[in-house]
Structure 1
Amino acid sequence: MAQPAPAVPQNTTAPLTPTQTPYFENGMAVLLNTWPALSMAVENEFGGPDSADKRDWMCGAVADLFSSEPATDAEDLESFLLDILSDEFETTLEDDSAYIVSQRILLLRRQIASDDFTGANALSEFWNKNGRDKPKVKVVRQGGIDDEDEEEEGGEGEGEGDVDMDEAPQLVAVKERVEKVVDEDGFELVQKKRR
């Protein structure tokens, strides 16, 4: 028998309290760290040698987005995540995993806004058990790094769905190699870069 969906408060666009914020930031960071598309981009250094630092910065950017625009919806968050993947990791997705991650982040935020920390605690437990080589989840804000490993890390909490996504999506590098074109006199013609 399926469990009923958790009750979602009517006003989920209000800023989170100082008590709720760390739960949200930690859980959101776990969801991003367990997103196969982002993990693959970091492991393969699509964002260069500092790809892991860019992922940490991305977590902080998402936290800042919700601080400045608490009414952010799934489509806006998906667009934000896709822009970062494209700009920082030169990666585009051929699946809808960014939207799924966005929905999970918003569900987590709604739960925490209603003082329901079960999803956040389940994420924390999951991360502690399965974080392997990642002992801490970081949220990098403009002022520096906040280590966030106490309360939030992945797993399946009530209404969380599958946090440990099994199959990594296909990634397509945005940069394409431009073939040289040589004219009949042996001069290379300048080609316009394609995106």
Structure 2
Amino acid sequence: MSTTTSPTIVLFARGTLALLDLWPALTIAVTEQWGGPDSSEKKTWLASTLIDEFESRATYLPSPAGTSSTGAAIVDPATANDPPLDHDDIADLLTQILSDEFDANLEDGSIDSVASDLVRLWRDLLASPTGADPETLVRALEGKADEVRKTGVKASSGGDADTDGEDADSDDDGEEGMDVDEAPALVPAQPKEKEEPVVDEDGFTLVQKPKRR
């Protein structure tokens, strides 16, 4: 595989950044600093983690046929319907990072929607089922992200964000996409309850073993 990044990966990276910008839950988590003062950097790290996972696991055409005129590796188009990460892999990764880095649990179903959108983005970039140019697909997502940054998000639920610039009710896995204008039910992790000291009859404080979760 060439050390030069594949054009497909570059487009996927741009699309991934746009999809994360279109995710109301993540926008709120960053704005409200659920992950602390470096919440914005954590969002960037989340994007790079997703992109790296796809790039490192992608299947490339063998050289020399598998390199472009610029020496960049070419992702095998045959893997369009077999993404490096599937829906469940992405959902698990997003759930873990939202919990670990932002101390938040989402109950609005948006994690599944984002996972579906990322899988659909990968498929559309490699297969272009609508006949659209991959660059055009990504620019449409980036345009939506720009609009959301200008208008912000509003509280509501439901909807979808598709990768081809047109409305879509669901993807191939039957998962609904996310509405780019609607905010989620964002639930911060519950703080641990402080245990009261236990004092025996002689006035000594007993040492208690920590409770297992």
Query: TM-score, with normalisation over the residues of structure 1?
Result: 0.69
Counterpart in 2 of 1:124? 142
**What per-residue deviation string (whole Å, max 9, x for no partner) do you get for residues 109-131 of structure 1?**
11111254243121122233443
Deviation, structure 1 residue 156: 6.3
Tell me if structure 2 keeps the 8 A contact 1:34–1:165. yes
- Residue 194 (structure 2) aligned to one of 172, 176, 179: 179
Distance 1:108 1:47, change over 3 A: same
Between the aligned partners of 1:87 and 1:106, the Cα distance in structure 2 is: 23
- Residue 85 (structure 1) aligned to one of 94, 98, 121: 98
Counterpart in 2 of 1:63? 51
Tell me if structure 1 keeps the 8 A contact 2:104–2:187. yes
SS, match of residue 180 in structure 1 = coil
Tell me if structure 2 keeps the 8 A contact 1:181–1:188. no
Identity, % of aligned positions: 33
Counterpart in 2 of 1:101? 114
Between the aligned partners of 1:156 and 1:69, the Cα distance in structure 2 is: 24
Counterpart in 2 of 1:54? 42
Query: TM-score, with normalisation over the residues of structure 2?
Result: 0.64
Between the aligned partners of 2:55 and 2:103, the Cα distance in structure 1 is: 26
Between the aligned partners of 2:180 and 2:212, the Cα distance in structure 1 is: 32
How many residues of Structure 1 are paired with residues of Structure 2 in the alignment? Answer: 160
- Using the TM superposition, name which of 74-83 and 31-40 deviates more: 31-40
- Using the TM superposition, name which of 17-26 and 63-72 deviates more: 17-26
Between the aligned partners of 1:193 and 1:166, the Cα distance in structure 2 is: 42
- Residue 29 (structure 2) aligned to one of 17, 41, 51: 41
Amino acid at match of 2:149: G
Tell me if structure 2 keeps the 8 A contact 1:91–1:173. yes
**What per-residue deviation string (whole Å, max 9, x for no partner) do you get for residues 64-117 of structure 1?**
010122321011100011111011111111132101111011111111112542
Distance 1:44 1:130, change over 3 A: closer
- Using the TM superposition, name which of 156-165 and 166-175 deviates more: 156-165
- Using the TM superposition, name which of 22-31 and 57-66 deviates more: 22-31
Tell me if structure 2 keeps the 8 A contact 1:176–1:194. no
**1:21 aligned to 2:3?**
no
Q: Of the two structures, which has the highest relative contact order with CA contacts closer than 8 Å and spacing of 6 or more?
A: 1
> Which one has the largest radius of gyration?
2
- Using the TM superposition, name which of 68-77 and 171-180 deviates more: 171-180
Amino acid at match of 1:91: A
Distance 1:84 1:126, change over 3 A: same
- Uncovered stretches (5+) of structure 2, i.e. residues with no partner: 59-83, 153-161, 170-176
Amino acid at match of 1:53: E
Tell me if structure 2 keeps the 8 A contact 1:24–1:108. yes
- Uncovered stretches (5+) of structure 1, i.e. residues with no partner: 1-16, 135-153
Deviation, structure 1 residue 193: 6.4
